[in-house]
């Protein structure tokens, strides 16, 4: 197939490594074409969900002044929404729209749905500009969808397994905490600390305190440690215990049998022991006089 300049594009590899184009060199210029920006549409499976508008505006201003240095990677699609689906480079495509460009340079790759998802996830994760929840969801999709182990994934993206495990734990957080983490109101350190709490109500309460008072991660950890400490049983009042024992002894002396007073807060029971039918009759007669 020829591009708009009439030059034949070079053969493109199908491996994932062949899809990543770090910069456009003179030798690679014949690999990309210009197409209408309205002919390109994003991939709904893209792991990035949040785009910083201020950063997009800065990138758009740079593109206006210098043009787009790195083309986006697409695949050809038969779609009502456009001719090409973005594999990598949605942020640049959005910035080009803001900059008012009518055309955009693209590199066309022939890849499967599976390869598109894998590339989009890995490319975004390696750039390290996803928020912590997007990153954790990206890890989960790679593990669930491509049967990676945490060790496989760690090796593939150049991170250690503990980093991935800690990231995946963030998906156990309630939705409101994940929302605060996604928009940057709490840090990943705060969020991981909140996982140590045992109930959502405690988590909500501590989260509010963290936001209201601007608690550091260390201060939050101390607060959570205190909340999780076992509640110490209240020691009985020594004076009241002696008084109760005195009353118990008076009852024993009066009724001539073993008597126990079992007290809890302001209520309790008085237990009389008897050892024969005659003993029972005797106690009843004494108690009903």
Domain residue extents for the chain: 16-111, 187-228, 238-287
pLDDT of residue 155: 85
- CATH class as words, domain 16-111: alpha beta
pLDDT of residue 28: 40
Question: If you average pLDDT over residues 38-42, what whole number do you get?
Answer: 88
> Quick one: which of 13, 39, 17 has its CA closest to 106?
39
Tokens 């049983």, residue? 233
Q: For the chain, what is the largest distance between any 2 Cα atoms, rounded to a whole number of angstroms?
A: 119
Is 90 a known active-site residue? yes
> Quick one: which of 205, 32, 142 has its CA closest to 213?
205
Separation of alpha carbons 116 and 175, rounded Å: 28
Question: If you average pLDDT over residues 133-154, what whole number do you get?
Answer: 86
The residues that bridge with 264 in the sheet, in sequence order, are 267
Separation of alpha carbons 47 and 121, rounded Å: 6
Q: Which range in 5-9, 11-15, 167-171 is most confidently predicted, on average pLDDT?
A: 167-171
Separation of alpha carbons 9 and 263, rounded Å: 90
pLDDT of residue 219: 94
pLDDT band at 179 (very low <50, low <70, confident <90, very high): very high
Residues in the chain: 289
pLDDT band at 165 (very low <50, low <70, confident <90, very high): very high
pLDDT of residue 15: 39
pLDDT of residue 127: 63
Pairing verdict, β 103-108 and 82-88: unpaired
Tokens 């969900």, residue? 49
Query: Which position among 53, 65, 90, 155 bears the catalytic label?
Result: 90
For the record, the structure tokens of 209 come out as 């305190």
Question: If you average pLDDT over residues 234-252, what whole number do you get?
Answer: 81
pLDDT of residue 154: 87
pLDDT of residue 209: 93
The residues that bridge with 34 in the sheet, in sequence order, are 105
Contact in structure between 122 and 98 (CB atoms under 8 Å)? no
Question: If you average pLDDT over residues 139-153, what whole number do you get?
Answer: 85
pLDDT of residue 230: 78
DSSP designation for 2: B
b/e sequence 184-203, b meaning 16+ C-beta within 10 Å:
eebbbebbbbbeebeeeeeb
pLDDT of residue 53: 82
pLDDT digits (tens, 9 = 90+) for 185-222: 999 999 999 999 988 899 999 999 999 999 999 999 99
Cα-based angle 71, 90, 49 (whole degrees, multiple of 5):
160
Quickly count: other Cβ atoms within 10 Å of residue 155's Cβ.
Answer: 13
| CB-count exposure of residue 17 (10 Å: 0-12, 13-18, 19+) | exposed
The helix (H) or strand (E) run that includes residue 142 is: helix 132-146
Question: If you average pLDDT over residues 210-235, what whole number do you get?
Answer: 86
Average of per-residue pLDDT values in the chain: 80
Quickly count: other Cβ atoms within 10 Å of residue 207's Cβ.
Answer: 23
pLDDT digits (tens, 9 = 90+) for 42-85: 887 666 667 778 888 888 898 888 888 788 888 887 666 668 88
pLDDT band at 117 (very low <50, low <70, confident <90, very high): confident
Backbone angles phi, psi at 131, to 5 degrees: -75, 165
Sign of CA dihedral 12, 33, 108, 121: positive
pLDDT of residue 122: 74
Question: If you average pLDDT over residues 259-276, what whole number do you get?
Answer: 87
The DSSP string of 209-236 is: HHHHHT--HHHHHHHHHHHHSPPPPPPP
pLDDT digits (tens, 9 = 90+) for 91-106: 889 999 999 999 999 9
Question: If you average pLDDT over residues 4-23, what whole number do you get?
Answer: 37
């Amino acid at each position: 197939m020829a591009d708009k300049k009439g030059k034949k594009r070079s053969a493109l590899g199908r491996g994932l490594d062949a899809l990543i184009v770090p910069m456009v060199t003179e030798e690679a210029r014949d690999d990309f074409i210009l197409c209408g920006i309205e002919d390109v549409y994003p991939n709904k499976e893209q792991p990035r969900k949040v785009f910083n508008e201020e950063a997009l505006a800065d990138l758009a201003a740079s593109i206006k002044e210098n043009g787009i240095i790195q083309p986006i990677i697409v695949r050809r699609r038969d779609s009502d929404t456009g001719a090409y689906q973005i594999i990598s480079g949605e942020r640049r495509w959005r910035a080009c729209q803001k900059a008012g460009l009518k055309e955009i340079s693209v590199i066309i790759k022939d890849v499967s749905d599976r390869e598109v998802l894998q590339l989009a996830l890995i490319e975004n994760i390696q750039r390290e500009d996803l928020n912590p929840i997007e990153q954790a969801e990206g890890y989960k999709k790679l593990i669930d969808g491509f049967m990676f182990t945490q060790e496989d994934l760690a090796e593939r993206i150049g991170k250690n397994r503990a980093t991935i495990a800690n990231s995946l734990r963030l998906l156990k957080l309630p939705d409101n905490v994940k929302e605060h983490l996604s928009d940057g109101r709490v840090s990943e350190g705060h969020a991981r600390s909140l996982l140590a709490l045992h109930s959502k109500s405690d988590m909500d309460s501590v989260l509010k305190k963290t936001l209201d008072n601007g608690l550091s991660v260390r201060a939050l950890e101390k607060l959570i440690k205190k909340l999780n400490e076992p509640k110490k049983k209240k020691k009985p009042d020594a004076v009241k215990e002696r008084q109760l024992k005195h009353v118990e002894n008076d009852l024993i002396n009066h009724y001539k049998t073993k008597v126990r007073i079992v007290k809890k807060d302001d209520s309790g029971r008085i237990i009389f022991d008897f050892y024969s039918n005659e003993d029972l009759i005797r106690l009843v007669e004494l108690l009903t006089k």
